[in-house]
Chains A and B, each alone.
Chain A
Amino acid sequence: MSKMTLEDLRKLRETKKQEAAQRDSDGKDSLIIVGMGTCGIAAGAKDVLDVMLDELKKAGNDNVIIRQAGCMGLCHVEPTIEVRTPGMPDTIYGKVDAKVAKDIVNIHIIDRKLVNEHVYDKPAADIIK
């Protein structure tokens, strides 16, 4: 890289900051847990995880921690994802493909609404409209 000006330095800091923010868990309030058991991976959980990371980045949201977990026991509806975010009930989604993953980010995390047709375990049935 050639020598930087003040503008370059500021720009570089902003981009690098976003990348680094992924590592930090301080001050983040939302958590997405992706079921990465053999069943989940076979059903495409890895791709789902990628899509979610991409979508969050696109939305400029650095408030979410993404963790991987083992099998959640809902092997019949893999890939499964649990979302915990303030003001919303903890929710487990199943049969998550790339499109649903995008919906979860945009509708659940950002607009704070449930993606009803993919809710599989929590919350209790009466909350789902």
Chain B
Amino acid sequence: MAVKNYVLVCGGSACESAKGNEIYKSLLHQAENQGVSSDLQIVKTGCFGFCEKGPIVKVLPDEAFYVEVKPEDAEEIISENIVKGRMVDRLLYKEDSKAEFKAEDIKFYQKQERIVLRNCGLIDPESIDEYIARDGYLGLEKALFEMSSDDIVNELKKSGLRGRGGAGFPTSLKWSFTQRVESDQKYVVCNADEGDPGAYMDRATLEGDPHSVIEAMIIAGKCVGADKGAIYIRAEYPLAIHRLEIAMAQAREKGLMGENILGTDFSFDLEIRLGAGAFVCGEETALLASIEGKRGMPIPKPPFPAVKGLFGKPTVINNVETFANIPVIISKGGDWFAEYGTEGSKGTKVFALTGKIKNSGLIEVPMGTTLREIVFDIGGGIPGGKKFKGVQTGGPSGGVLTDEFLDTPIDFDSLLAVGSMMGSGGMIVMDEDDCMVDVAKFYLDFCVEESCGKCAPCRIGTKKLYEILEKISQGKGEMDDLDKMRDMGAAMKKASLCGLGQTAPNPVLSVLNTFEEEVLEHIQGGKCRSGKCKDLVQYTVIEDKCIGCTVCARKCPVNCISGERKVAHVIDQSSCVKCGACYDSCKFGAILVS
């Protein structure tokens, strides 16, 4: 019997963790039970991006887009949608209380342009045939049979592709450096050591479309004359590793990787290297050291890895998203790619949208899309009617963009100009309940932890900055702390050995520039307006409102609230831990936060 329906189940990490695999199994089981298993094909795909509403199940060709599916819903999906051809209304995504069954009609998808994620959520990442069906390995075919090395570099140059790891270095230049060096051995390395808090673009790409990265690395090998490559990926991405291994085995079996690819005299093979999850290993020289089996620490550049990289040999090193762009650039041409984006930044960018936002998830937009479109149109705005405060981009290397930058088109250069950076693409949205001192402290804490300790500006600088922020958050800050932080930040930027230390002060400097008033409030007024800095908060009972119900006293974890029944209670400030339990539990609004 012919297949009539395709049921796509999201197999990204977010949906998997919400029982995606159980849904997949119970769909298979139900299809079997209801005698329709030969009528349909159930496919586990990569991330759909709409993680907020996951797990997602999509039925084709009906285009039914089901959200927040549970394993027990499988029975109804099969019996209604597959057997009877009726959509399961209660599971369809609803926007403004109107059922939107098609993905294209959902606002979340309308402003997106999917190049990197072209196959994510569409194909089974564990099937090379499905990848090939979507023009997979067409780029490799062209690169092997129709193009010279120079042609490939020129195509990349035309496309204007810049490295998606954060710094935005032109990819064509990087490749041409390695291509031009004479050497008996060259390497291609993929940086999949994604470490920014809140970022998971590369993870989703590898989980949803591993072949796109593999194909690009083979093309890179052909271009620069390398026959070996490695994918450096953190061990905490088990699903991505698993799917990469499957994809590599399939490519080898089909003769798309290994000896004499497609019958030509070009050979290329890959291996996976697991990292232990150190943030500094995302820095290219530290990453290469880690692959070599040494401690992951950066070395001064130049020489750049393009000339002297892995085991001292010329090495092309790009990140996952950069590679994922390349097969389509080669197959459709650099001019096609250059139609997307802005003057200086071509193509699209994938962002992981998280924080105080209605539709968190994975999005891909053309460069030049404004922050407003991302946060309010795609992201659906801030939940709970709260006020937008800012977006942190670029993770621990970036800064905060406030509402005055909502209409700035986002690309590599515009973000740098306003004191943040693209970074790898994490976007954390903050509302009025977030304290900027606290946010800066969070990122510095991360950097203190992740600094490799090799150079003093980073090792000592991050720690000292953290200590000052800690002081400010306790209300013990002094006015000259502001200048101290600025001076130290400037020194770290200049003197640190690698990107980690050079950019570590960015979140602090950005907060000092854009939210100075709020920092001053902490120092001069001893006050934290959002109540995040615990030491500056005081909980007291409003006597008139307290009816003596004793709920707060029972909830208090340290028993510091005392009082008789039906008599106003009192909080003992000396032993209060400021957990806020009393505030949350009081039904009469009798707890005052100040």
* Chain B residue total in the interface (Cβ 8 A): 37
Q: Is A124 an interface residue (CB 8 A)?
A: no
Contact B132 A23 (CB under 8 A): no
Q: Which of B133-141, B155-163, B401-409, B500-508 contacts A (4 or more CB under 8 A)?
A: B133-141
C-alpha gap A35/B306 in the complex (Å): 62
Contact A70 B253 (CB under 8 A): no
**In the complex, chain B residues whose CB is within 8 Å of the CB of A4:** 254-256, 262
Q: Please, which residue of chain B has its CB at the minimum distance from the CB of A68?
A: B85
Given contacts A54-B2, A66-B61, A69-B85, contact A9 B141 (CB under 8 A): yes
Binding site secondary structure of chain B: loop
Contact B85 A19 (CB under 8 A): no
C-alpha gap A70/B122 in the complex (Å): 27
**In the complex, chain A residues whose CB is within 8 Å of the CB of B167:** none
Q: Is A50 an interface residue (CB 8 A)?
A: yes
Q: Is B518 an interface residue (CB 8 A)?
A: no
- Which of chain A's residues 18-59 have a Cβ closer than 8 Å to chain B? 19-20, 22-25, 34, 36-37, 46, 49-50, 53-54, 57
A-B interface pairs (CB < 8 A), number: 90
Q: Is A16 an interface residue (CB 8 A)?
A: yes
Contact A19 B133 (CB under 8 A): yes
Q: Is A99 an interface residue (CB 8 A)?
A: no
Q: Is A125 an interface residue (CB 8 A)?
A: no
Contact B255 A3 (CB under 8 A): yes
**In the complex, chain B residues whose CB is within 8 Å of the CB of A1:** 253-254
Question: B190: shortest Cβ distance to chain A, in Å?
Answer: 23
Contact A20 B134 (CB under 8 A): yes
Contact B86 A70 (CB under 8 A): yes
Range class of the A interface residue count: 20 to 34
C-alpha gap A57/B202 in the complex (Å): 38
**In the complex, chain A residues whose CB is within 8 Å of the CB of B84:** 36-37, 68, 70
Contact A3 B254 (CB under 8 A): yes
**In the complex, chain B residues whose CB is within 8 Å of the CB of A16:** 129-130, 132-133
Question: A83: shortest Cβ distance to chain B, in Å?
Answer: 15
Contact B262 A9 (CB under 8 A): yes
Contact A36 B61 (CB under 8 A): no
**In the complex, chain B residues whose CB is within 8 Å of the CB of A36:** 83-85
C-alpha gap A128/B325 in the complex (Å): 53
Q: Is B386 an interface residue (CB 8 A)?
A: no
Question: B211: shortest Cβ distance to chain A, in Å?
Answer: 13
Question: A30: shortest Cβ distance to chain B, in Å?
Answer: 12
Question: B4: shortest Cβ distance to chain A, in Å?
Answer: 6
**In the complex, chain B residues whose CB is within 8 Å of the CB of A12:** 129, 132
**In the complex, chain A residues whose CB is within 8 Å of the CB of B6:** 22-23
Question: B79: shortest Cβ distance to chain A, in Å?
Answer: 12
Question: A58: shortest Cβ distance to chain B, in Å?
Answer: 12
Which residue, of B136, B253, B262, has the highest number of chain A Cβ atoms within 10 A? B262
When each residue 239-261 of chain B gets 1 if its CB lies under 8 Å from chain A and 0 otherwise, what string results? Answer: 00000000000000111101010
**In the complex, chain A residues whose CB is within 8 Å of the CB of B256:** 4, 9
Given contacts A22-B3, A70-B84, contact A6 B133 (CB under 8 A): no
Contact A68 B262 (CB under 8 A): no
Between-chain CB contacts (< 8 Å), 8 pairs: A4-B254, A9-B137, A12-B129, A16-B129, A16-B130, A20-B123, A53-B4, A69-B86
- A residues contacting B by CB (< 8 A) are 1-6, 9-10, 12-13, 16-17, 19-20, 22-25, 34, 36-37, 46, 49-50, 53-54, 57, 65-70
- B residues contacting A by CB (< 8 A) are 1-6, 39, 60-63, 83-86, 122-123, 129-130, 132-138, 141, 144-145, 253-256, 258, 260, 262-263
